[in-house]
Amino acid sequence: MVIAVPKEILPGENRVSITPDVASKLIKKNFQIHVEKGAGEGAGYTDEHYEKAGAKLYDNVNDLYQSADIITKVQRPLDHPTEGKNELDLIKEGTLLITFLYPLNYPELAKECALKRINVISMDAIPRTTLAQKMDALSSQANIAGYKSVIMCANALGKIFPLMMTAAGTISPAKVVIMGAGVAGLQALGTAKRLGAVVEVSDIRSAVKEEVQSLGGKFIEVAGAEDMQDAGGYAKEASAEFLQKQKDLIFKHVTNADIVITTALVPGRKAPVLVTEEMVKNMRPGSVVLDMAVEFGGNCEVSEKGKVVKKYGVTIIGEPNLPSLVPTHSSDVYAKNILALLEHISKEGKVELNFDDEIVKGSVITHNGEVVQERTKSLL
């Protein structure tokens, strides 16, 4: 089977779905790899790297897509800037598309894939189980986003992170508040601690308290916190009353912080507002807020997607694609997630989708002209 690797067309997207290293491993498993010229350049992988790995290079994206049995991408299909049509219109019937489709956020796109008889595995729908850990691309990308968020905040803050004793006096450590103790939040906590900050973490799931403390963070606990984790390990949607209680407690911590990093996402829903405009108004001038959920509506009321803005003396970073700012390692781990998935669903270079398998059942969104994933189907 032929796996095609197109160049990502979303502005600012530097990642690539298959790296040369993973390409050579897939070739050894009897797949053929076709790569659009320049596909890996943003991530530091040249066309020569792909050729050495045994991949075939393509100038023309239309020819590339027509040659493919499987297409791997990072971003969902978009209008192509040079072809004058959507990427979906370039893909032939029966092709398997593996990408971050986010079907709960874009159910109409899933429907369109089904109408065009394009089979889709969405990498954001991989179940969070022990068996699927190697394929969990949401976690691999969130890990890198958590790291990069702290580096960006440190760069924007007019203070240093660690406690420092100098002849001119003692410098107090920076105070960092992280909202959400998922993969991104815990990585941000670890990174901020390594840089010497005092870190507090808030999460609606009381189950994560021990993890936060084991990494050296202080857990901000809301009185009477209900357990807000679903069976799949994701945060559930909180009640309005609970969110209000959380906001009242958070207000005090946020307004005393030098840096606030928000990471809260609920699959298929607008991100919950955790940092209100009123909180930002009461933060110290020179403080920094980074809203990691800005692509899906934002956790901060005054963040702006794709922009760094200053409001009430506070710098607010609304970078929607943090993993793309660390493209070499983001691509490396994403390609390994795809490799693990392909190893799981194929034999001797042939993909066979077994719907009795929980990973296949959870992550296949469209198959044979139908939307088959129940959660996506319920939105249409």
* 138-191 tens-digit pLDDT: 999 999 999 999 999 999 999 999 999 999 999 999 999 999 999 999 999 999
Question: Percent of the chain having pLDDT more than 90?
Answer: 85
pLDDT at 362: 94
Supply 188's token pair.
Answer: 């941000």
pLDDT at 242: 73
Specify which residues 262 forms β-bridges with: 179, 291
Residues 127 and 359: beta-carbon distance below 8 Å = yes
Instruction: Specify whether 234 is catalytic.
Output: yes
Q: Please give the average per-residue pLDDT across 101-107, as a whole number.
A: 94
The Cα 87–Cα 83 span in angstroms is 9
Residues 57 and 47: beta-carbon distance below 8 Å = yes
pLDDT at 90: 96
Residues 201 and 218: beta-carbon distance below 8 Å = yes
Question: Percent of the chain having pLDDT more than 70?
Answer: 96
Q: What's the mean pLDDT when you consider all of the chain?
A: 93
pLDDT band at 247 (very low <50, low <70, confident <90, very high): confident
pLDDT surpasses 70 at 227: no
Question: Which range has the worst mean pLDDT, 4-13, 29-38, 44-53, 222-231?
Answer: 222-231
| Catalytic choice (21, 47, 106, 128) | 128
Q: Which amino acid, 70?
A: I
| Catalytic choice (17, 75, 122, 139) | 139
Tell if the pTM clears 0.75, that is, is over it: yes
pLDDT band at 228 (very low <50, low <70, confident <90, very high): low
Question: Which range has the worst mean pLDDT, 223-237, 265-279, 341-355?
Answer: 223-237
pLDDT at 237: 67
Vertex 104: Cα angle to 98 and 105 (nearest 5): 95
pLDDT surpasses 90 at 343: yes
| Domains identified in the chain and CATH numbers | 2-125+327-368 (3.40.50.720), 142-325 (3.40.50.720)
The Cα 143–Cα 263 span in angstroms is 11
pLDDT at 266: 84
Supply 9's token pair.
Answer: 């067309």
Task: Tell me the CA end-to-end span of the chain in Å, nearest whole number.
Answer: 32
pLDDT at 95: 97
pLDDT surpasses 70 at 238: no
pLDDT surpasses 80 at 231: no
| Catalytic choice (21, 117, 234, 357) | 234
Vertex 357: Cα angle to 70 and 361 (nearest 5): 65
| Catalytic choice (79, 133, 172, 227) | 133
| Catalytic choice (136, 203, 291, 332) | 136
Instruction: Specify whether 128 is catalytic.
Output: yes
pLDDT at 244: 78
Residues 171 and 157: beta-carbon distance below 8 Å = no
Question: Which range has the worst mean pLDDT, 247-256, 308-317, 364-373?
Answer: 247-256
pLDDT at 297: 93
pLDDT band at 307 (very low <50, low <70, confident <90, very high): very high
pLDDT at 265: 87
Specify which residues 58 forms β-bridges with: 36
The Cα 219–Cα 217 span in angstroms is 6
Residue 198 main-chain phi, psi, to 5 deg: -90, 125
Instruction: Specify whether 187 is catalytic.
Output: no
pLDDT surpasses 80 at 106: yes
